[in-house]
């Protein structure tokens, strides 16, 4: 198991922060069920994902295809555990950071995510994962 320790600075009195936190919880639950449709509901059309090994993919459709393949080939289940969510002064962007870990393998690391408000709804613009083991 990881030696990472979480120090939360999440302001649960802020509705926007709570929405993003709950969206992350729903995304984690969908990953546990290998439900790509629900996970991808939080991604913008031009979503960018940078994996823990530095490889990257751009575009919601392409990443959905990759995740469907990954889940069909008995991939490990993982979760993201946010420890900070900040809303920009403009209220159009948000920053999330925390830890990720596989629930089925001993891999872990840190992540960050950029959220963008699109038509009044928070969507993930990009995610960066860094493997620490």
What's the pTM value of the predicted model, to 2 decimals? 0.89
Supply the pLDDT for residue 118.
93
Q: Confirm whether 6 is domain-assigned.
A: no
Tokens 């939360």: give the residue: 8
Supply the pLDDT for residue 5.
46
66: domain CATH number is 3.10.450.50
Please, which pLDDT band fits residue 97 given cuts at 50, 70 and 90? very high
Dump pLDDT digits (tens) for 13-56: 899 999 999 999 999 999 999 999 999 999 999 999 999 888 99
Domain span at 65: 11-131
Give the chain's domain count.
1
Supply the pLDDT for residue 3.
42
Q: Confirm whether 38 is domain-assigned.
A: yes
Q: Confirm whether 5 is domain-assigned.
A: no
Q: Confirm whether 99 is domain-assigned.
A: yes
Q: Confirm whether 50 is domain-assigned.
A: yes
> Any alpha helices (H) in 56-114, and if so which ranges?
60-72
Residue 52 Cα to chain centre, angstroms: 12
Please, which pLDDT band fits residue 69 given cuts at 50, 70 and 90? very high
């Amino acid at each position: 198991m990881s030696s990472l320790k979480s120090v939360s600075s999440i302001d649960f009195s802020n509705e926007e922060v709570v929405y993003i936190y709950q969206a992350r919880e729903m995304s984690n639950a969908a990953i546990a069920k290998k439900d790509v449709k629900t996970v991808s509901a939080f991604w913008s059309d031009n979503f960018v994902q940078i994996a823990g090994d530095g490889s990257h993919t751009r575009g919601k459709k392409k990443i959905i295809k990759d995740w469907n393949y990954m889940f069909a080939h008995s991939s490990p289940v993982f979760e993201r555990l946010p420890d900070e969510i900040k809303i920009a002064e403009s209220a159009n962007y948000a920053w999330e950071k925390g830890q990720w870990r596989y629930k089925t393998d001993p891999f872990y690391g840190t992540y960050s995510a950029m959220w963008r408000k699109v038509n009044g709804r928070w969507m993930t613009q990009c995610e960066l994962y860094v493997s620490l083991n």
